[in-house]
């Protein structure tokens, strides 16, 4: 039995979409479940699509999620460039491995599985235009290759000369003309594809001395002893070529098994979940905030206040089901429960409300102290500094109502500062003389209250007092709450009084009803 080794192989072409995070997560869970290694490899051989900062973004996003690689990235989050015991296959950036691939491309040419192609970009463009004019699509394959400029049609001497004297040639795979490729996918089962419609993909380019994705991917998966390739379904059309490459190299015995994950779908309608859906419906589709070169900001789950555990839990269940009713899974529980045979073939519809639900659940599971710590910077943004013990009590009281830590402020800001205005709609309703008068009496009662200083005792005493005077309980309470919070809604009076203290309570009552004469007008 070979040790399980899987890899996440992103191309640094921009921020990592949440679908990409899910691919990394499933790789990670699979590796850990099997006691294996999770490797990161950066596939950056397409220099035209390289985006500065994307590599760091990807690594940081995975670290935020707790998806920590065993190999390829060091503990500081840097892609490893020099081999060591822990990272024997360094460098892990394909652009830095460029010296490796040429001999593999040449090996295929020598064995007759590939050939040199000398067609210039202009010649190929002309072929495309010609085919288009005839209502067809040009494909570089068995139908056309014998009319084009390559080592299959030119003499050996001419080929040698062009190889030596020109620099814009490529190595192309010689796709079999009519063969059924039989493949197996861990999620999709057995697949058969006829090679008739497939093209002679470029494997290596002399111009930049770089391999294309296909060659680099196969060679590196082989050298890095990858046992399973778990990736997005957009790579399924490349699978026949990859199978044929393994065969051509004579590596079928150690060929990895493949699993192609379905897409994440839009919350409404059909199609792939895109950044535009997020912008339109107001939810993030990227793990972290991303600022592009033009300074445009794309929101991220982290900055929107999601807990990484909630994000990971939600992602894990987008396309995999545990086969039970359980929804809340820690990373360790996911590692134990995950199984490839319960990964669904169909696309998974993303539901932003469910993402919020997960966050709410994780918020409730956190201790009051932990949440209070997270609340400190939110308070600071509002210019409030508070005693930590007091903060813990506040958090304890309001955490059930919040989805995000930032909600604490919206729910309970009035526990930290007095209201400056009073909602008109509510004042019209509650600040009537018949309510204000008893409210002032209740205020005196509280100021003089000497019973136990906790919510239950104070609440009981208040209710007894109001009932004994036969005042309308709800109206009087709302009248007071309005004075304390600026609106008719909020926490219970006793809770507020306990948390802001008698002195602050009296001052707010005084301020609100200083003009009680005007109220009676």
Q: Just list the catalytic residues.
A: 275
Stretch that binds ligand GLU, among 8-16, 145-153, 204-212, 299-307 (CB under 6 A): 8-16
Nearer to ligand GLU, 203 or 372 (CB): 203
- Bridge partner list, 37: 5
The Cα–Cα gap between 175 and 112 comes to 11
| 7: β partners | 39
Q: Which residues between 122 and 141 bind ligand GLU (CB under 6 A)?
A: none
Question: Smallest distance from the beta carbon of 337 to ligand GLU, in angstroms?
Answer: 24
The pair phi, psi for residue 203, each rounded to 5°, is -105, -30
Q: Which residues pair with 290 in a beta bridge?
A: 298
Smallest gap from Cβ 210 to ligand GLU, in A, equals: 14
Q: Is 235 in the site for ligand GLU (CB under 6 A)?
A: yes
Sheet holding 37-40, edge to edge: 37-40, 5-8, 228-232, 257-261, 180-185, 189-194
Which residues partner with 259 through β-bridges?
Answer: 230
The per-residue b/e assignment along 267-294, b for 16 or more CB within 10 angstroms, e otherwise, is beeeeebebebbeeeebbbbbbbbeeee
* Residue 193 φ/ψ, nearest 5 degrees: -135, 135
Instruction: Tell me the closest approach of the beta carbon of residue 459 to ligand GLU, in angstroms.
Output: 59
69 binds ligand GLU (CB under 6 A): no
- Nearest Cα residue to 281 out of 349, 347, 360, 351: 351
- When the beta carbons of 28 and 414 are compared against ligand GLU, the nearer one is 28
The residue among 221 and 495 lying less far from ligand GLU, judged by its C-beta, is 221
Minimum CB separation of residue 37 from ligand GLU in Å reads: 16
Nearer to ligand GLU, 210 or 483 (CB): 210
Both tokens of 305, joined, read 């206040």
The distance of closest approach from Cβ of residue 485 to ligand GLU in the complex, given in angstroms and rounded to an integer, is 51
Helix or strand holding residue 190 (H, E): strand 189-194
Q: What binding mask, one character per residue, do residues 358-397 give for ligand GLU by CB under 6 A, x or -?
A: ----------------------------------------
Q: x/- binding map, residues 165-204, to ligand GLU, per CB under 6 A? A: ----------------------------------------
Q: What is the smallest separation between the CB atom of 235 and ligand GLU, expressed in angstroms?
A: 5
Region 303-322 residues binding ligand GLU, contact defined as CB under 6 A: none
Give the burial class of 182: count Cβ atoms within 10 A of its Cβ; 0-12 exposed, 13-18 middle, 19 or more buried.
exposed
- Contact between 259 and 191 under an 8 Å Cβ cutoff? The reply is no
Q: Is 149 in the site for ligand GLU (CB under 6 A)?
A: no
**Integer Cα distance of 60 and 45 in angstroms:** 21
Candidates 492, 400, 485, 402; CA nearest to 455 is: 492
Q: Considering only residues 217, 255, 313, 485, which one is a binding residue for ligand GLU as defined by CB under 6 A?
A: 217
Question: Omega before 33 cis (within 30°)?
Answer: no
Q: Mask: binding to ligand GLU, 42-61, rule CB under 6 A, as x and -?
A: -x------------------
Kindly write out the interface string for residues 9-48 of this chain, putting x where it contacts ligand GLU by CB under 6 A and - elsewhere.
xxx-------------------------------x-----
Q: Residue 230 CB, nearest distance to ligand GLU (Å)?
A: 8
Cβ proximity to ligand GLU, 10 vs 308, nearer residue: 10
Per-residue x/- track, 410-449, ligand GLU (CB under 6 A): ----------------------------------------
Q: Which is nearer to ligand GLU, 249 or 465 (CB)?
A: 249
Q: Name which of 42 and 483 has its Cβ closer to ligand GLU.
A: 42
Identify which of residues 10 and 300 has a Cβ nearer to ligand GLU in the complex: 10
Rounded CA gap, 54 and 17, in Å?
A: 11
Asked if residue 50 lies in contact with residue 62, where contact means CB atoms within 8 angstroms, the answer is no
Can you tell me which residue has the tokens 């046992």? 227
- For residue 108, give both structure tokens: 């295929």
For the CB of residue 96, give the shortest distance to ligand GLU in the complex, in Å.
15
User: What secondary structure letter does DSSP report for 404?
Assistant: S
Q: Name 209's Cβ contacts closer than 8 Å, sequence gap at least 6.
A: 98, 102
Only segment of 163-171, 229-237, 319-327, 482-490 that touches ligand GLU (CB under 6 A): 229-237
Kindly give the interhelix angle for 308-316 and 54-65, rounded to the nearest 10 degrees: 90
Paired strand residues for 258: 185, 229
- Nearest-approach distance from CB 234 to ligand GLU, in angstroms: 7
Secondary structure letter of residue 256 according to DSSP: P
> What is the smallest separation between the CB atom of 345 and ligand GLU, expressed in angstroms?
18
Q: Which is nearer to ligand GLU, 20 or 490 (CB)?
A: 20
Among 5, 97, 149, 231, binds ligand GLU (CB under 6 A): 231
Residues 6+ apart with CB under 8 A from 64: 287, 288, 302, 308
Tell me the number of residues near ligand GLU by CB under 6 A.
8
Nearer to ligand GLU, 54 or 436 (CB): 54
Binding residues for ligand GLU (CB under 6 A): 9-11, 43, 217, 229, 231, 235
């Amino acid at each position: 039995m070979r040790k399980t080794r899987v890899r996440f192989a992103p191309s640094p072409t921009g921020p990592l979409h949440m679908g990409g995070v899910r691919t990394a997560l499933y790789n990670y869970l699979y590796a850990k479940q099997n006691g294996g290694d999770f490797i990161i490899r950066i596939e950056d051989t397409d220099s035209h699509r390289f985006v500065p900062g994307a590599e760091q973004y990807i690594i940081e996003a995975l670290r935020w999620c707790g998806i920590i690689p065993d190999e390829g990235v060091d503990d500081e989050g840097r892609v490893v460039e020099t081999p060591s015991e822990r990272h024997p296959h360094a460098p892990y950036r394909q652009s830095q491995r460029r010296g490796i691939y040429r001999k593999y491309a040449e090996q295929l040419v020598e064995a007759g599985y590939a050939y040199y192609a000398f067609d210039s970009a202009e010649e190929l463009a002309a072929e495309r235009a010609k085919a288009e004019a005839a209502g067809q699509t040009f494909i570089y394959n068995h139908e056309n290759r014998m009319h084009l400029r390559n080592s299959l049609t030119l003499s050996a001497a001419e080929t040698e000369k062009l190889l030596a004297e020109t620099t814009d040639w490529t190595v192309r795979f010689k796709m079999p003309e009519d063969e059924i490729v039989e493949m197996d996918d861990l999620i999709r089962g057995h697949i058969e594809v006829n090679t008739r419609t497939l093209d002679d993909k470029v494997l290596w380019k002399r111009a930049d001395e770089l391999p294309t994705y296909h060659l680099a991917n196969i060679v590196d998966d082989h050298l890095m002893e990858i046992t399973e390739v778990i990736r997005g379904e957009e790579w399924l059309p490349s699978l026949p070529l990859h199978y044929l490459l393994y065969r051509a190299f004579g590596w079928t015995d150690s060929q990895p098994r493949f699993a192609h994950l379905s897409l994440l779908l839009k919350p409404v309608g059909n199609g792939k979940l895109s950044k535009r859906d997020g912008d339109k419906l107001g939810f993030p589709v990227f793990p972290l905030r991303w600022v592009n070169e033009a300074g445009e900001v794309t929101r991220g789950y982290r900055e929107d206040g999601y807990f990484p555990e909630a994000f990971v839990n939600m992602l894990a269940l987008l396309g995999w089901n545990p086969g039970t009713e359980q929804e809340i899974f820690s990373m360790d529980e996911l590692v134990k429960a995950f199984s490839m045979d319960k990964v669904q073939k169909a696309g998974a519809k993303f539901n932003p409300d469910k993402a919020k639900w997960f966050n709410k659940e994780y918020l409730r599971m956190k201790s009051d102290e932990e949440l209070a710590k997270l609340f400190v910077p939110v308070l600071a943004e509002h210019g409030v500094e508070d005693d930590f013990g007091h903060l813990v009590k506040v958090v304890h009281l309001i955490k059930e109502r919040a989805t995000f830590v930032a909600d604490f402020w919206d729910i309970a800001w009035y526990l930290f500062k007095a209201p400056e205005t009073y909602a008109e709609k509510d004042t019209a309703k509650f600040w009537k003389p018949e309510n204000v008068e008893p409210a002032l009496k209740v205020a005196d009662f509280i100021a003089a209250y000497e019973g136990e200083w906790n919510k239950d005792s104070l609440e009981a005493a208040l209710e007894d007092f109001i009932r004994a005077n036969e005042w309308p309980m709800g109206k009087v309470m709302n009248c007071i709450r309005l004075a304390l919070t600026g609106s008719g809604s909020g926490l219970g009076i006793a809770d507020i009084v306990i948390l802001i203290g008698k002195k602050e309570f009296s001052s707010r009552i005084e301020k609100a009803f200083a003009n009680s004469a005007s109220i009676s007008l």
